Amino acid sequence: MRARPNNATGFSLLEAIVALTLLAMAAAALYGWLSVSIGGLRRAEAAHLETRDSRSALAIARTLNPSRQPSGRIEIGDLAIEWESIEVVPQKVGRTPTGMPSAFDVALFDVTLRTFRSTSETSVQTVRKAGWVVTRPFDADPQN
């Protein structure tokens, strides 16, 4: 068996094991960081979708008249919006700024909006909304 010369180059087995151990520890830390980052990204994406769906539901609610459509469902692509109205203040005669009866009877409703994507509920919110019904049509020409 020959003895190694003192000027031999290369890594010993111990140096290679230490290097691989350090590399494995760095890879494990990187994997943990990536895992946490991806989880945060998924939660942020889910929150973004919920916010987008809620805004869509509120945009639909702006156009609703709960006196005429107390409940319903609208589908827009894979998004479905359902609403249900509960009368909070009973219907009354509407008044003009001068106190005279207007053409409308008005009521106040709590409208519950639910949004769905692929049959799973993504958000629920409740808004107060006025409803109206034309009960005294305005006569533009009272002479006739």
Domain parsing of the chain, residue ranges: 13-134
Residue with the bigger pLDDT between 12 and 142: it is 12
State both tokens at 42.
Answer: 């998924």
CB 80 within 8 A of CB 123: no
What's residue 85's pLDDT? 97
Q: How far is CA 13 from the centre of its chain?
A: 57
Contact residues for 138 (Cβ-Cβ < 8 A; gap 6+): 103
Mean pLDDT for the chain overall = 89
- What does pTM read for this prediction? 0.68
- pLDDT tens by residue, 73-132: 999 989 999 999 999 999 999 999 999 999 999 999 999 999 999 878 888 999 999 999
In whole angstroms, give the CA distance from residue 19 to residue 64.
68
What six digits make up the tokens of 17? 């094991």
Q: What is the DSSP letter of 11?
A: -
